[in-house]
Structure formats: C-alpha cells, structure tokens
Amino acid sequence: MKKKNYYNILGIPKNATTEDVKKAYRRLVHKCHPDIVGNSPENIEKFKEITEAYETLSSPQKREQYDSINRLYEYAEGVSQGVNEGVNEGVNEGVNKGVNPQKSQDSKTEKKKAENNNTDSSKKYKSEKVENEKKPKKENTFSKMRAQAKANHDKNIFTKFIKSLLDRKPQQKKYTPPKIDGKDITTEVTLSIDEAINGTERIVNILHMETCEKCRGRKFINGSICPSCGGAGEKSKYKKLTVKIPAQVKNNSKIRVEGEGNKGFNGGKRGNLYLIVKIENHADVQYDGLNVLRTVSIAPYEAVLGGYITFEMNGENIRMKLMPNTYNGQKYRIAGQGIEKGGKKGDLIVTVVIDIPKNLSTEEIELYEKLKMVAKRTVREQKNN
C-alpha cells in the first residue's frame, strides 16, 4: 500500500517552511471545508487528509519522524528494484550466450540423424533416444541463480521490516461528528405570597433555538449561506409550557424542568429549563414547617398605646390586636392562618418592628420634644434597673 504524501496533499515542496505549511492549509480550508463544498463522505475524507497533513508537517517533531519513515520507504523500494534488475540481467545474459542444455541435446540428435541413413543406424538412434529420455533433465542454471538471489533477499531483516510497512493497511475509521448537548434556558417567574405558600401553576413562554430545517444545521446550501437561518444553522421558536410550582417555595429558588431547554446536535441531549422564583414582598415572609412567619411594622405610638392594626396577607386584610407597651421584635400568633397540608393547618406568626417614619411633621417633632421633657428615665436606664 502506498503511503500518503502529505506534501502533495497540501501542494507544497519538501523544503517548504512552517509558514508555507500554514498558508497552504488556510487556503485549502477556504476551498475544501465540508461546510462550503458539502458534507458528503468524500469531502469529509478529503478534508480529514488535509488536516492530518497539516498537523504532521506543522510540528517539527512529527515532520522529522514522517520524513525519516519516507526515507526508509524510498530505500526499501530501491533495494527491491535493484535485486530484481540484477536477477533479470543474469537470466538474459545466460540466454544470449546460448547456454541451454536442452537446446544442445536437440542439436546432437539431429546431427546423428543426418550421418546415419541406413536402417541399422536408424534403429540405433531410436534406442539411444529412448535411453536419453529416461535420464533426468538438468536444472536450468540461471533459474537456480534467480531462486538463490530471491531467497537471500527475503532473508534480509531490513527488507522484511520495510515489506511489513508497505503491506500494513491502516484502519479506515468512519468520521463521526462529536455530540453537542443543548444549552439550558433560564427565566424568571414572579409569585404572590399566597402562590408561594400554597403552590400554583404557571404558563411560561419559552424561546427555543432549534436546528434549521432547510440546511439541517450545516449553515450552507450548495456553497451559499442558508437563506432560511442566515448561516446561523439554527432558528428561534417560541413554546408555551405549563410548569407546576411546589408549595412553600422560597425566594430566588431555582426550579428545573428536565429536557425543556435547547435541542442538542449530532445526538446530544436537550438542555434543561430553569425557573428563578421571585416572591412579592419576600423580605416580610418566611416559613417554619406549616407556620408562616410575617414581619409587620408599627409606629411608636402604636407600640405604646396598643390597639388594632391591619395588614395584607394572601390577598386578604388581617386585623390583629396589639397589647399596650408592645416592644420591638415581639411576636403574635394567629391560629389557623398558616399552610394546610395532610389535614393539618399551621399558624401565622407575626413579628412587630417599631419603625419611625423618615419624614416627620413639625407638630410631630414638637410632641417628641414634650415627651422628652416629661420622660423620667431613658430606655437604657430602664434596662439597667
């Protein structure tokens, strides 16, 4: 089997520089790439040979090894050709000199026929002919020479090594494009507090990237850019999907929907869809088992005087009574206003936070000044006692 000539494949001489190799490869890429000339098996195999030649000749180490093997091939072919030529010349020389035992025997027989014309001589000739036919024929001298030369050539270890290289058939591997998994899709979904507590369903409109049906992802058709996808190899497509949101989901949590991402290439699996949950007023709501924890702000006078306050929860207005002298961080429990599951229902636990408004009126400030004058002790002094 003839070894591939990488120099001929790239169209460069053997003394080409590394820069010449790179220029030749770039030129052939623009000319022979499967995306340009077509994705047929022949074009793929040709481009594979071009890439193999470039990887070998662009590396000084690989190129030196390749040139050394080529020199061994050329030497082996020269030795084989020289032996065959020498044997053929010997045979031709022997034939030209007339050294042929069979031809010489035939000449002697005809000479005897001419000298003996009577009947007795004819009988004697016939008996000699029969006797001569019984004798074994002498082996051709030059046939023995040729056989001996061939045997000596086959015994040469170097010849056997080169012959094994010439007879070795490389395994042809079918080119298989690598699998590419599809990309994931990430989007946000906003839930109310009630939806986050009890769970819900959402219809999301997802933008998928699908393989172009016209060029089948190759980006080119008959050497031209695909007019359908503009050379991208893929097109966008919207898809409506109903997603179930579990109960007690937390803010910024991530919900995965398997296999609803972008499509993969060459047998690669599809990507996933990820929903990032955003809860309205999430800073004021947390969960503890079936209990819902809620933080509510109150004014200083509400904390001192007590009374009823109203706040929104799960789309409803909740009315709660504050005790006089409520302190910051005090908790109130409202039974049966939590999460219901398995026949059980949790409670709503409210933590109050005393909040001073940022913009106070002049009258409010004056009242605080009077409160300061009538206050006997500060809060710090009261805690120390």
Q: Over range 230-250, report the average pLDDT.
A: 81
Instruction: Find the mean pLDDT for residues 21-40.
Output: 87
Q: Given a cut of 60, is residue 175 above it in pLDDT? A: yes
Q: What percent of the chain has pLDDT over 90?
A: 15
**d(Cα 360, Cα 105) in Å, to the nearest integer?**
144
User: Which residues lie across from 360 on neighbouring strands?
Assistant: none
Q: Quick one: tokens of 188?
A: 């946000």
What's the chain look like in SS3? CCCCCHHHHHCCCCCCCHHHHHHHHHHHHHHHCHHHHCCCHHHHHHHHHHHHHHHHHCCHHHHHHHHHHHHHHHHHHHHHHHHHHHHHHHHHHHHHHCCCHHHHHHHHHHHHHHHCCCHHHHHHHHHHHHHHHHCCCCCCHHHHHHHHHHHHHHHCHHHHHHHHHHHCCCCCCCCCCCCECCCCEEEEEEECHHHHHHCEEEEEEEEEEEECCCCCCCCEECCEECCCCCCCCEEEEEEEEEEEECCCCCCCCEEEECCCCCCCECCCCCCCEEEEEEECCHHHEEEECCEEEEEEEECHHHHHHCEEEEEEECCEEEEEEECCCCCCCCEEEECCCCCEECCEECCEEEEEEECCCCCCCHHHHHHHHHHHHHCCCCHHHHHHC
CB atoms inside a 10 Å sphere around CB 336: 9
Rounded Cα distance between 21 and 26, Å, is 9
C-alpha distances out from residue 292 to 281, 297, 316, 337, 347, Å? 14, 17, 15, 8, 6
Cβ contacts of 38 within 8 Å, gap of 6 or more: 222, 223
Residues 6 or more apart whose Cβ sits within 8 Å of residue 276:
186, 187, 188, 189, 252, 253, 254
Record the pTM. 0.39
pLDDT tens for 196-218 read: 777 888 888 887 777 787 787 77
Tokens found for residue 192: 């109310």
pLDDT at residue 353 is higher than 90 = yes
Q: What's the whole-number average pLDDT of the chain?
A: 76
Residue 321 has pLDDT above 80, yes or no: yes
Candidates 125, 131, 127, 95; CA nearest to 110 is 125
Burial of 365 (0-12, 13-18, 19+ CB in 10 A): exposed
Above 90 in pLDDT, residue 323? Answer: yes
Quick check: 321 and 298 in contact, CB under 8 A? no
More confidently predicted of 325 and 108: 325
Per-residue pLDDT at 359 exceeds 90: no
pLDDT at 301 over 80: yes
Task: Let me know if 258 is exposed, middle or buried by CB neighbors in 10 A (0-12, 13-18, 19+).
Answer: exposed
Per-residue pLDDT at 335 exceeds 80: yes
pLDDT at 161 over 70: no
d(CA 362, CA 273): 55
Q: Nearest to residue 301, comparing CAs of 318, 322, 317?
A: 322
pLDDT, position 91: 42
Using pLDDT thresholds of 50, 70 and 90, give the confidence band for residue 101. very low
Token pair listed for 335: 């039974």
368 or 137, higher pLDDT: 368
Residue 217 confidence (pLDDT): 72
| pLDDT band at residue 330 using 50, 70 and 90 as cut-offs | very high
CA 54, CA 29: separation in Å to the nearest integer?
A: 11
Q: Measure the CA–CA gap between 201 and 189, rounded to whole angstroms.
A: 11
